Structure 1
């Protein structure tokens, strides 16, 4: 099960990397269109923002799996393994609590947007749920990765 969760996180991380690459291409296109041809596009900013939201939430589990989250380890690096494991558990539990809250409220917001048929107030008029769904999905992926890391930490006794 741990390998499966890691594979999902890695797959989502690759998707996020691809989305960030596409965002770079869109912004380069917009800069060229605006400043070279003086013909700005009305759609690149909204699509870039949409892709950035999805890429960020899809990448979260991958970032945790690779231990690339921002950490301040001034004190924990000097601790013995037992207390260090407790600190790692506490931090994972805080992130897990945040994920649970964001998932619950995120699902409610997505359901409300679908029920009310809300759209963005831009020229493209993208349905709002398409952007909002990134929050509960990304938090669910992150929560699964947190569970995998907790198993590694306590069952296998391995800190990454």
Structure 2
């Protein structure tokens, strides 16, 4: 039940984010048209697309983990038995993933709260607020952490080592 809720949440967020990619692409096309066809570049598109891309990239981390889409180096463990692969993956989560996810969560929280308190904005002619992007780092870290917990529970409870249930 908990695994399904975590997976469903990250699946939903991944699907919603696909629309942000459309918005992102539309803004880039708009800027290219304005700059190269009308010779009237805009001032806001660079900051807006940079922030949208950062948001998009950050928020898809848990979705990618759910779908086992992160870069992995399986050259060594592909030769292991299914049980050895399972325990190696578990060790990887415990030694590398969870410490990283915890530091990402706690540090991004501090980073976001400082940005929010300062009312941080971008530099330049159009000053867009930066703190929403930094707050999204906290949300992304939390989603990544709970998806990692789901993956570990799945590894610990799987009946057939090497088989990934959704």
SS of residue matched to 2:75: coil
* Contact 1:16-1:54 within 8 A present in 2 as well: no
Q: Which runs of 5+ in 1 are unaligned?
A: none
1:88-103 correspondence to structure 2 within 5 Å: 88-93=89-94, 94-103=96-105
**Distance in 2, Cα, partners of 1:45 & 1:107:** 26
The reply to whether residue 22 of structure 1 matches residue 15 of structure 2 is no
**Distance in 2, Cα, partners of 1:15 & 1:57:** 14
Partner of 1:121: 123
CA deviations over 1:96-139 (Å, ceiling 9, x no partner): 21111011111111111222222221333222211111211101
Tell which deviates more after alignment, 98-107 or 126-135. 126-135
Partner of 2:34: 33
Cα displacement (A) at 1:71: 1.1
What TM-score, normalized to structure 1?
Answer: 0.93
* Contact 2:47-2:122 within 8 A present in 1 as well: no
SS of residue matched to 1:133: helix
Would you say how many aligned residue pairs link Structure 1 and Structure 2? 160
**Distance in 1, Cα, partners of 2:16 & 2:126:** 23
Q: Which runs of 5+ in 2 are unaligned?
A: none
**Distance in 2, Cα, partners of 1:52 & 1:12:** 15
What CA RMSD, in Å, does the superposition of the two structures yield over aligned residues?
A: 1.4
**Distance in 1, Cα, partners of 2:16 & 2:54:** 13
- Give 1:110's match in structure 2, choosing from 103, 109, 112: 112
* Contact 2:51-2:133 within 8 A present in 1 as well: yes
